[in-house]
Chain A
Amino acid sequence: MRLTCPFCGSRGLEEFTYRGDATVRRPSADASQEAWVDYVYLRDNPCGPHRELWYHGAGCRSWLVVTRDTRTHQILDVRNARDVMLAERMSPEGKGEGS
């Protein structure tokens, strides 16, 4: 599999590390235990396009939000995670799609 890093271009899988779901958001410190359990442990396992976090550790060290079709491994989109999160913080909803 290959990912196109927004900074480094098309690179092989061995340069990246997978972290997981990019749709979950860290709750505030005073959120309920249920919210925290959801965040730390519970994950959906969607069939189809899924947004997930990858780390270009052997490249530019950027965290990336990758949209991958879990059925075909087709990579639909790759964005710099920091930009996604900053945009999300700026958006009026506070927690939107961030894109």
Chain B
Amino acid sequence: MADLLSATLPVVSDPVTVGGVTLELVPPTSIVSLGAFAGAGRDELVGRVRAEFGVDLPDVSRAVRSSYGNVAFLWNGPTQWLVVGEDSGELFSRLQKCCGDVCALTSQGDSRTILRLSGMGAREVATRLLPIDLHGQVFSTDCVASTLAGHIPVIVWQTAQTPAYDFLVFRSFASSLFHDLSVALNGHTFSETDHYA
């Protein structure tokens, strides 16, 4: 009798581009958290993931991309990772088969919204909200940080050299973060110097 429910986006604003920097909502992706159980052994988990995805789970705060199915593993704490992949039901079941018995798997694709800031000058805009050092020597492609954008908790992932930053933010905060990033974006076109040095 019933047809499927339609999905609603957490941010209603259109992408904004100011001075070559674009702020946009990334289409929904699959995100699954992976929490290692102590008993089963972290090595076992690392080995299973390596066998299935061909990569080692990162043990520092960064992302590792697997060429097997466009999947990235983001460090999210000493015993936790976020697996980010294309939006299909496949990722969860694939992980379930791979390592469901040695770690906690939790669907996070609706929990986290991704806002992307990209283009020359994106770092200048991001630095207005993030209290971490984004200089290229310190934070480069596939570096990941859990921190605060203003007052909002975020996971920041530099996804491209250009640069581009993906802000993984709790869905309920997405609208507020979009606003705050827009304000920073509008202000940055006036700065004459590169202040993040």
Chain A in direct contact with chain B (Cβ < 8 angstroms): yes
> Could you tell me which A residues sit within 8 Å of B by CB distance?
7-9, 11-12, 14-15, 58-62, 80, 82
With known contacts A8-B61, A11-B131, A14-B131, A59–B78 Cβ distance under 8 A: no
Contact of B147 among A7, A11, A62, A80 (CB under 8 A): A11
B-side contacts of A58, CB under 8 Å:
146-148, 153
B151 to A, closest residue via Cβ = A14
Contact of A12 among B77, B131, B145 (CB under 8 A): B131
- Contact status B145-A14, CB under 8 Å: no
- 7 pairs of residues in contact across A and B, judged by CB atoms under 8 Å: A7-B60, A8-B145, A9-B61, A11-B147, A59-B147, A60-B78, A82-B78
- Contact status A61-B77, CB under 8 Å: yes
- Contact status B61-A7, CB under 8 Å: yes
- Contact status A80-B78, CB under 8 Å: yes
B-side contacts of A80, CB under 8 Å:
78
In the A-B complex, the 4 residue pairs with the closest CB atoms: A60-B77, A59-B146, A58-B148, A12-B131
Q: A7-B61, A62-B78 are in contact. List 4 more A-B contacts (CB 8 A).
A: A8-B146, A12-B131, A59-B147, A60-B146
Q: Could you tell me the distance between the alpha carbons of A80 and B61 in the complex, rounded to whole angstroms? A: 15
B152 to A, closest residue via Cβ = A58
Tell me how far the C-beta of B154 lies from the nearest C-beta in chain A, rounded to whole angstroms. Answer: 9
B144 to A, closest residue via Cβ = A8
A62 to B, closest residue via Cβ = B78
Q: Could you tell me the distance between the alpha carbons of A15 and B131 in the complex, rounded to whole angstroms? A: 9
B33 part of interface (Cβ distance < 8 Å) = no
Contact of A62 among B77, B148, B153 (CB under 8 A): B77
B-side contacts of A14, CB under 8 Å:
131, 148
B-side contacts of A60, CB under 8 Å:
61, 76-78, 146
A-side contacts of B78, CB under 8 Å:
7, 60, 62, 80, 82
